[in-house]
Amino acid sequence: MPRRRPSLEEGTEDITTIMFPKLTDMMTPEFLQEFQDTFSESFDISVAILDGEGKAITRPALSTDTSSLSKGGKAAKSRAVLAVKAIGSGRIEKARDTRGLLQLALPIGIQGLRVGVMLVADIPDAKTDTRHLRELARKLDTTPEDVRKQSGRRLDRAVAVLQFAANALAGICHEGWIIRRHMVELRTLQRVSQMLGSTRHLDELLKLIVRTVCDTLKVKACGVRLLEPSTGELVLMAVHGLSEEYLSKGPVLFKRSTIDQAAMDGEPVYIRDIGRDPRILYPAEMIREGIRSNLVIGLKVRDRAIGALRIYSGEKRYFHQSEIALAEAIANLSAIAIENAKLYEEAMEKDRLEHELGLAAQIQSHLLPSECPQPEGFDICAVNQPSRHVGGDFYDYVRTPGDDRLGIVIADVCGKSMGGALLMATARSAMRVQCEHCMTPGEIVTRVNRSLCRDTRPEEFVTFFFAKLDTTRRVLHYANAGHNRPLLYRGSETIPLEGSGMVCGVLVENTYVERDIQLESGDVLLLYTDGLDEARNPEDRFFGLERTGEVIRKHRGRPASEIIRKLCQAVHRFAAGRQQSDDLTLILIKVL
C-alpha cells in the first residue's frame, strides 16, 4: 500500500493564532475571572478584563453595588470605547462617568501586540459631584470631606494596582505565549518536514513547498526560484497562487535583483508596500496581480546559495518576526529537501546510465571473439580490458571463403565509453564487410578507411592493423593504419613491424601498402594498444615497451595464455592501484 502523505492540518494548530494571539489564547476565562476577583477583593476596587476589541471576558468584580461596571447600555458602550482607546494608544486612558467617578483602562501587551485591557471603575476624584460624594461617604461610614481628601491617594493606588495587575497578566501571558508558540512551530515544522520527506522527485517536491508555505502562513502566493549558475538567472521552478500572465512578465537575473542578492546572502527581505520600494523589478505587474507585500528568503545548503523562496501577500501585511523565523525554518528544510531530491535524481540517472552501459558492455563483449583460433604450429591468445564499462579497442579473427589464411585485426578508436563503443562497432562492421570482397590486407584497410570517412565525423578516427597469417608458409602479410607497431621478439632482438600509414577515417583518398614478414620457430609476436605501454604508476611514469620486453623474454617458454596473464599482472602491479586510463588489448602469437 502506498504511503499516505501527511497533511499540514493534521494535529497542527493554526499558526496565525500564535502570531496574532488573543488574551483567551493564553489563559482560560476561568483563570482570568479568579485573577480579577482576587485583585478586586484585595484592593477594594471594581475590576473588569476586556479583550483586544473591548469586549468583556469576565464578569465585573464589584466593590460596591453601584459600580458602573455592572451597568449595560451606554455604560458598556463607553467602557468599550475606553478600552479600544487604550489598546490604540498603548497607555493608561481615563474617562469619567455621569457621577464624576473615574474609569481607568490599561492595555495588556505581548511582544508589541496588545491583547486585552484591565479596567478599574468607581474611583472618586476632586471633581466628583457632592451628591455622589455624600452617598459614597455614607457607604464608607465617613464624611464627604474625608472621601475627597482620600480620592487623590486612591487614584494613585488604583493606577499602581492597575499597572501591577496588567504587568502581571502580561508576564504570565508572555511566558505562556512563548511556550505555546514554540510548541506550535515545532509541530508545524515536524509536519512540514514529514511532507517534504514524503517525495524524492524534484518537481513534485517544489510544488509541495509552495503550497505548504501558502497554507502555513495564510498568504496569497508563493514561488521558488533556483539559481542557474551558467546563465545567472533565477529560474522559476514552482509557483502557487499566481496567474500565467504574471509569470510571463520576464526573467529575473540575479545580478539585477538586489532583493534576491540580499536574501541569498542570508538576510530575509520584507517589503510592506511593493509600490513604494525601488528594488522591485516588476512593480506594475505585481500591482496588477494583486500583490501588496512581499517576503523573500534565501535557500542555502551548507552556506551555498541555491535560490530564493518568494512569499506574496494580497494586502499590506505585517510579517511578525515569528512568522519570518518560521518561514526561514521552512526555507532551510526546503533547501535541504531540494538538494536531496537533486542528488536522488542524479543517483537515479547514474543508475540508469550504469544499467545501459552494462547492457552495452554485454553487447560489445559479444562482438569480440569468444575464443582464439589455434592453427597448427601456432599458439594464439588475446585479452581485452576496457578502462570503463565499454571501450574503444577491439580485436577479431576472420576467415574468408577461398582463403586459407587467418585474418587478424586489432584497432583502437578515438573516444571512450559509449561514443568509442559505437565507433568501434562501426569500424568492426566495415572491416567484416570488406573482408567479404577483398583478399589482401592493403585493400581491406584502404576500403575500411573509405567507409569510415563516409560514416564518421571529421574528428573521429581509428588506428587499424590488419594482418593475414599464412600458417603453412609462416608468413604474416599486414597493413597498418596508424596503429602501434607490433613487436616481434626473436632471440634477444625486439623487431618492430615496419610500415605505418595514416589513421582511418580522416582522408578518403588514402591507400595502404601491404608488407610481410617471415616468422621463425620460437618467435613471439605481440599486437597491442596504447593501454599497455602508456599505463602509468602513481609517480606518473609509463610502463613502456622495455618492461614489456622483459616480461615476455622472462616467460617466453610458457604458453601464450600464460605470457598474456603475466604481462597483465605486471601492468597492474606497476599501476599500483592507479585508475586505468585507457583500454588494454593484447594479441600474442607464439610460433611453435
Distances, alpha carbon 160 to alpha carbons 5, 82, 165, in Å: 55, 19, 9
Domain spanning 16-183: which CATH class is it, in words?
Answer: alpha beta
Q: Which is it for the CA torsion 487, 489, 492, 493, positive or negative?
A: negative
| Predicted local confidence at residue 98, as pLDDT | 63
Tell me the pLDDT tens digit for each residue of 359-410.
766 766 777 888 999 999 999 999 998 877 667 788 999 987 777 889 999 9
Quick check: pTM over 0.85? Answer: no
CA distance 386 to 584: 6
Tell me the pLDDT tens digit for each residue of 77-107.
777 788 788 878 878 887 776 666 677 888 8
For the domain covering 368-591, report its CATH number: 3.60.40.10
**Percentage of the chain exceeding pLDDT 70:** 77
| Predicted local confidence at residue 10, as pLDDT | 46
Is residue 323 helix, strand or coil?
helix
Range with lowest mean pLDDT among 49-53, 217-221, 375-379: 49-53
Domain spanning 202-345: which CATH class is it, in words?
Answer: alpha beta
Q: What is the mean pLDDT of residues 524-540?
A: 93
Residue 21 backbone dihedrals phi, psi, to 5 degrees: -75, 160
CB 518 within 8 A of CB 475: yes
CA distance 86 to 69: 17
Range with lowest mean pLDDT among 45-59, 241-255, 445-459, 558-572: 45-59
Q: Is the pLDDT of residue 157 over 70?
A: no
Tell me the pLDDT tens digit for each residue of 410-467.
998 886 666 667 777 788 888 888 887 777 899 999 999 998 888 888 778 899 999 9
Tell me the pLDDT tens digit for each residue of 321-353.
778 888 888 888 888 888 888 888 888 888 887
What contacts 573, CB < 8 A, 6 or more positions away?
Answer: none
Tell me the pLDDT tens digit for each residue of 112-137.
667 788 887 766 555 555 666 666 56
Q: Is the pLDDT of residue 181 over 80?
A: no
Tell me the pLDDT tens digit for each residue of 544-560.
999 999 999 999 999 99
| Predicted local confidence at residue 21, as pLDDT | 66
- Segments making up each domain of the chain, as ranges: 16-183, 202-345, 368-591
Q: Is the pLDDT of residue 25 over 90?
A: no
Tell me the pLDDT tens digit for each residue of 303-322.
889 999 999 999 988 887 77
